[in-house]
Amino acid sequence: MKPKVAFFDFTSCEGCQLDALNLDVGEVLGLLGAVDIVNFREVKTDRSDDYDIAFIEGSITKESEIPRIEAIRKQAKVLVALGACACTGGVNCLKNAYTADELLKGVYGECASYYNTIPARPVSAVVPVDAYIRGCPPTTSEFLKVVKAALLGKRPDIPNYPVCTECRIAGNVCVFQRGGTCIGPVTRAGCDALCVSSGRFCWGCRGLVDDPNTNSAKDVLARYGLTLDQILERFKIYNSYSEVSQCQK
């Protein structure tokens, strides 16, 4: 029996789902040969509530999304958080700087009462998560790697060192040396330092490494005459849910 796979979207831009499937023809056929996709609203009409592996995209930002994710957790043997919104809360958590009232009145004016919102949170803040596919969006190769590991019942081999390591392998000139700021020193690698290699800097979309060396990060900042506050604003873009407080410790 092929494992039954389901995709579910919560609050998000839905880019991860479609990007995950940006595969070559061979890969598509390989994947379809290995699993049964039984639930995938964005691509497929028929749906079934009998599945083994659930991919969750998006953060939890509405009261009604809580029972929905709990029901999925109950059914799924393996629950995978797909993308930054699901893994760390992602950009959605930027709204948590405001109260629901400020947001609803600010955007919807007098119709505010039609709608509701709760502080945005990653999936793991509501139910246990078995595996993470990080990034905004994740890379296709990491998606395939995690799927293969999940099928074999193994732990995927995801880097637990900072983006800086991959950045050096890529031969980039360090952003700090170019006079900018970069979250690479505390961000989990796995993207081949894509943004730095594209002439920019790391925004930290893959979340913190497990044991971020915040002291050495502070050293880097001190060396270049920067304070933590100066880079925290940027760090918050993807990590304002919980990790900012961790970093400030």
Q: Which residues bind ligand SF4 (CB under 6 A)?
A: 135, 163-164, 167, 172, 174-176, 182, 184-185, 187, 191, 193-196, 201-206
Name the segment binding other proteins (CB under 8 A); options: 72-80, 156-164, 182-190, 195-203. 195-203
Q: List the 36-40 sheet strands across, edge first.
A: 36-40, 4-9, 53-57, 78-82, 131-133
Q: Which of 78, 195, 208, 209 lies at the binding interface for other proteins (CB under 8 A)? A: 195
13 vs 9, 150, 169, CA distance in Å? 9, 25, 31
Where on the phi/psi map is residue 64: left (φ > 0), alpha (ψ -120 to 50), or beta? alpha
Nearer to other proteins, 100 or 130 (CB): 100
Q: Which of 87, 136, 183, 247 lies at the binding interface for other proteins (CB under 8 A)? A: 136
CB count within 10 Å of CB 141 equals 12
Nearer to other proteins, 146 or 181 (CB): 181
Q: Minimum CB separation from other proteins for residue 57, in Å?
A: 9
Nearer to other proteins, 176 or 213 (CB): 176
Q: Minimum CB separation from other proteins for residue 214, in Å?
A: 22
Q: Minimum CB separation from ligand SF4 for residue 30, in Å?
A: 25
Cis before 137 (ω within 30): yes
- Residue 99 CA, distance from chain mean position: 24
Q: Which of 12, 88, 187, 239 lies at the binding interface for other proteins (CB under 8 A)? A: 12
Burial class for 68, CB neighbours closer than 10 Å (0-12, 13-18, 19+): middle
Tokens of 158: 């995801």
Residue 136's φ and ψ, nearest 5 degrees, are -135, 85
In the block, which residue shows the tokens 């001190």?
Answer: 222
Can you give the binding site for other proteins, defined by CB under 8 A?
9-19, 22, 24-25, 28-29, 32, 37, 40-47, 61-62, 65, 90-92, 94-95, 98, 102-104, 106-111, 114-115, 117, 136-137, 194-195, 197-200, 203, 233-234, 237
